Amino acid sequence: MDDLRPDLIRGPDGLARCGWVGDDAEYRRYHDEEWGRALHGDRALYEKMSLEGFQAGLSWITILRKRPRFREVFAGFEPETVAAFDEADVERLMADAGIIRNRAKILTTIGNARLVAAMTPGEFDAFMWSFAPEPRSAADRPVAFADVPAVTAASDALSKALKRRGFRFVGSTTMYALMQSAGMVDDHLVGCHRAG
Catalytic amino acids? Answer: 30, 52, 60
Is 40 assigned a ligand-binding role in the annotation? no
DSSP class of residue 10 equals: E
- In Å, the largest CA–CA distance within the chain is 59
3-class secondary-structure state, position 18: strand
Considering only CA atoms, give the Rg of the chain: 17
CA distances from 12 to 158, 173, 188 (A): 38, 32, 19
Angle at alpha carbon of residue 76, lines to 75 and 81, rounded to 5°: 45
97: number of Cβ within 10 Å:
8
Per the annotation, does 47 bind a ligand?
Answer: no
Distances (CA, A) of 174 to 60, 66, 150, 177, 191: 11, 18, 9, 5, 26
Please report, in range form, the residues annotated as the binding site for Zn(2+): 18, 31, 188, 192
Please report, in range form, the residues annotated as the binding site: 18, 31, 188, 192
